[in-house]
Amino acid sequence: MRNRGVTAAALVLAVLLGVLYWSNRHKPADTGGLSPLPSPTEPAPNILTLNEGDINRIELKRKEGEQIVLARDSSGKWSITAPQAMAADDSVVSGMVSTLSSFSSDRLVEEKAASLDKYGLTAPRLEVTVIDKNNAAHRVLIGDDTPTGNGAYARLDGDPRVFTIANFNKTTIDKTLDDLRDKRLITATADKVTRFELTANQQTIEFSRDKEQWQILKPRPLRADGTVVDQLLRKVVEARMEPNTAADETKAIGDNKASDNKGEESNKSDAASKAAAAFSAGTLVATAKLTTDSGTQQLEVRKHKDEYYAKSSVTDGVFKIASDLGQSLDKKLDDFRDKKVFDFGFNDPAKIEIHDGSKTYFLTKSGEDWWSADGKKFDPSGAESLVGKLRDLTATDFADSGFGAAALEITVTSADGKHVEKISLAKGPKNTIARREGDASLYLLDANVIADLQKLASDLKPAASGGK
């Protein structure tokens, strides 16, 4: 027993000596003066901590490139004040403010750096000065990228510590003028537009909105397809300038530019000049005017070769735009007309009255059931088939004349009795022709429409129960 205890003790001692030997042979590698990564339980410190609402001004100064100043007014709205005054992109600036207010590091590199040169912080690539409501300035310096390329070195001016920051934090604040400017060509919102004018294909079409209903006013009063008008309106208000085409970038940005900035500014000027020249040489596609309570905004679109360019009343300059917007503006009057013969849409009408020569059919809706004039409930499948056919009547084209003797006259009452539509149907040489009361236009329908409606009406039968 005693020998066993001695043997066990010897084994434990051998293991401990082995661990000590391995530890001495595998010391931590030299970090080159960089602090080791913080432990998982030790959060990386923030470089800068401020309240978002206290940030009133941001200045971006690059070692190479433009210098930009952003300022927030008393209402809380951000704008670009230098190199020239222009509106700012709210979403981009908001992301920048949010990041700077709690500017986090990935890790602490040195508590007190003896030299900033090796981090690129003696002459930093980017300086971001944040000015708060007390007019105190906080200057964040961004230096070289880290060897792995996953981040960059950074420090707060006046703080001896050097940190690394993640790439996403760097890219959120490292923005150009093109990144920060408001890229909208129309600042009106679609739901606030009450009048919309489109000049295209040598014709001006004017739409007016009463509540949620669009109507064509010019070239003459016509029913409008609200879905088509809304789709085009949304495309216009969502129009954005594409990068490097702003003609206003050609304006002088300052007389004291560093020589290494000239190439960048020259490229912008060249791109802007090309956009302006393409617009000038292009063919006019359309002019859109949008009117709200705040005034009227205009967008003029031209096509040069296979590309589209726009000039807006909202901002100076000429801009390249997406092709789908230019193509969407190339429309004619009939593209916007409501081709549905009836307005009642997806809601069932309350009453239907059909006159077919000497025959008359009355249908009244009560709850889920359809009733005849003499108080008999109709078979639901027949009644719904007739209602569905009326709902689906859609013109394939329009005409201004050619309506003969009416073969069918149909009156539909909907919207709790507030909306009454009277339609007459006549046989044409190749089509059925529909005429709405109070509408000078004629709707050309499939040739079989009259026969189909006559059959559906004559096939109406009482419900199987036969009672009320």
5, pLDDT greater than 90: no
3-state helix, strand, coil split of the chain in percent (to 5) is: 25, 35, 35
Q: What is the pLDDT of residues 266-320, one digit of tens each?
A: 556 677 888 999 999 999 999 999 999 999 999 999 999 999 999 999 998 899 9
The continuous run of DSSP H or E covering 382 comes out as helix 380-391
Stretch 93-114: mean pLDDT, rounded? 95
35, pLDDT greater than 60: no
For residue 421, give both structure tokens.
């539509």
d(CA 226, CA 325): 18
Stretch 45-63: mean pLDDT, rounded? 95
Q: Is 320 left (phi over 0), alpha (psi -120 to 50) or beta?
A: beta
pLDDT of residue 416: 87
Positive or negative CA dihedral for 185, 189, 195, 200? positive
pLDDT of residue 182: 94
pLDDT of residue 455: 97
Q: What is the pLDDT of residues 175-184, one digit of tens each?
A: 999 899 999 9
Domains of the chain: 46-180 (2.60.40), 190-336 (no CATH), 351-458 (2.60.40)
pLDDT of residue 210: 86
pLDDT of residue 441: 92
Give the number of residues written for the chain.
468
Contact between 314 and 184 under an 8 Å Cβ cutoff? The reply is: yes
> Most confidently modeled of 39-48, 205-214, 269-278, 284-293?
284-293
pLDDT of residue 343: 92
Strand ranges (E), 282-431: 283-292, 295-304, 307-312, 318-321, 351-356, 359-366, 369-371, 397-399, 406-414, 419-427
389, pLDDT greater than 80: yes
pLDDT of residue 422: 97
Q: Cβ contacts of residue 224 below 8 Å, gap of 6+? A: 207, 214, 215, 216, 336, 337, 338
pLDDT of residue 437: 95
For 317, list phi and psi in degrees, rounded to 5: 115, 175
pLDDT of residue 460: 96
16, pLDDT greater than 60: no
pLDDT band at 254 (very low <50, low <70, confident <90, very high): very low
What proportion of the chain, given as a percentage, has pLDDT over 70? Answer: 84
Q: What is the pLDDT of residues 322-359, one digit of tens each?
A: 999 999 999 999 999 999 999 997 888 999 999 999 99
Residue 268 or 439, more confident? 439
pLDDT of residue 267: 58
249, pLDDT greater than 80: no
For residue 270, give both structure tokens.
């060249």
Strands of 359-366's sheet in order across: 369-371, 359-366, 351-356, 406-414, 419-427, 432-436, 442-445, 397-399
18, pLDDT greater than 80: no
pLDDT of residue 66: 79
* Average confidence score pLDDT of the chain: 87
Stretch 408-414: mean pLDDT, rounded? 97
d(CA 433, CA 443): 6
Report which residue type is found at 251.
Answer: K
d(CA 279, CA 297): 19
pLDDT of residue 272: 81
Stretch 65-90: mean pLDDT, rounded? 93
d(CA 93, CA 77): 10
Report which residue type is found at 133.
Answer: K
pLDDT of residue 65: 76
Residue 66 or 73, more confident? 73
d(CA 210, CA 215): 8
Positive or negative CA dihedral for 129, 130, 132, 136? negative
91, pLDDT greater than 90: yes
9, pLDDT greater than 90: no
pLDDT of residue 217: 96
